[in-house]
Amino acid sequence: MAAYTVGVDVGGTKVAAVLVDDAGAIMRRSRAETESADYAGLVAGIVSAVTEVREGVEMSGVGLAIAGNVAADGSSVLFSPHLPLAGEPLAQDLCGALGTRVFIDNDANAAAWAEHECGAGRGAGEMLFVALGTGLGAGLILRDRMYRGYHGFAGEAGHITVVIDGRACPCGSRGCWERYASGTALVSHYVERGGDPEVGGPGITRAAAKGDPLALAALEDVGEWLGRGLASLVAVLDPELIVVGGGVSESGDLLLDPARRALASSVMGAGRRPLPRVVAAELGNAAGVVGAAMLARHDGQ
């Protein structure tokens, strides 16, 4: 098998591709614009980015990280909120255009696999990964294997209901966990406490790092809701380790300490059971695209 695979992060208007070695190190990068409303344009953009990054190098496969519901066999995307994908044979079409095998996975799964293989989850056979971005995504590693569920849709933890008739969610429901624990939720908590909505999530995070009381309180709100939700997942899954990624995780212990406290106080059997460690992710924004490349190497195994 060739030493290199390519990972592709597929967004609504652009794709980013990286060439990755067998240790998960990024060797090259490329980007291409896509026509997000057109399937053919999306395929062309992916082919362009991969062709550029692989030039002159033998590779063993391509992995795609995409937000949405991915078929369990990694062949197609059944639904994506930002892309023109609804069951088209994307892996097959790309395989024909690129001449190599192609594997697709949900972006949170890809990031989880990267953290498991070469990030904060190294050595943990039972690991839960939670990403706090615009929404909340999750990936689950069981016995050193990615768990996708029967249909491939496992990990949509952000849409667990935590507040009956709570905040409206773009998914059509109300009270979803990601409405209370995510980058979007951080802004909501901040505004509810009297903050300026124009500050935005990254601005709130920076302000919290400087000791701003309002930003710290909003970040603690997110941490508490994160811990409450994790308590439910721990009761069901009993993982060895929880890795928290996404932009909000850059706050480190300002986020994770309240999450740990809320998890410890609200989990079933609180005070009378061992708890998983809760740590920050290590790979940052590169996790999804690196994980996609590494999943392609292992065919998702």
Query: Measured between alpha carbons, how far is 289 from 16 in angstroms, rounded to an integer?
Result: 8
Q: Using alpha carbons, list the distances in angstroms from residue 173 to 118, 122, 159.
A: 36, 36, 8
Element of type H or E holding 64: strand 59-66
Residues of the chain predicted below pLDDT 70: 1-2, 35-36, 299-301
Report which DSSP code applies to 25.
-
Query: Measured between alpha carbons, how far is 89 from 91 in angstroms, rounded to an integer?
Result: 6
Report which DSSP code applies to 168.
B
Q: For residue 3, how far is the Cα from the chain centroid?
A: 25
Two structure tokens written together for 151: 């249909």
Q: Residue 33 has what pLDDT? A: 81
Phi and psi torsions of 234, nearest 5°: -65, -40
Phi and psi torsions of 67, nearest 5°: -75, 120
Q: Residue 251 has what pLDDT? A: 93
Q: Residue 97 has what pLDDT? A: 95
pLDDT digits (tens, 9 = 90+) for 279-288: 999 999 899 9
Query: Measured between alpha carbons, how far is 218 from 229 in angstroms, rounded to an integer?
Result: 17
Q: Cβ–Cβ contacts within 10 Å for residue 46, how many? A: 24
Q: Using alpha carbons, list the distances in angstroms from residue 172 to 99, 165, 175, 184.
A: 40, 12, 10, 16
Q: Residue 300 has what pLDDT? A: 43
Give the domains, in start order, of the chain with CATH numbers: 4-110+286-298 (3.30.420.40), 122-282 (3.30.420.40)
Q: Residue 271 has what pLDDT? A: 86
- In sequence order, the 6+-apart residues with CB closer than 8 A to the CB of 42 are 10, 34, 35, 36, 83, 84, 85
Q: Using alpha carbons, list the distances in angstroms from residue 13 to 37, 96, 283.
A: 9, 23, 23
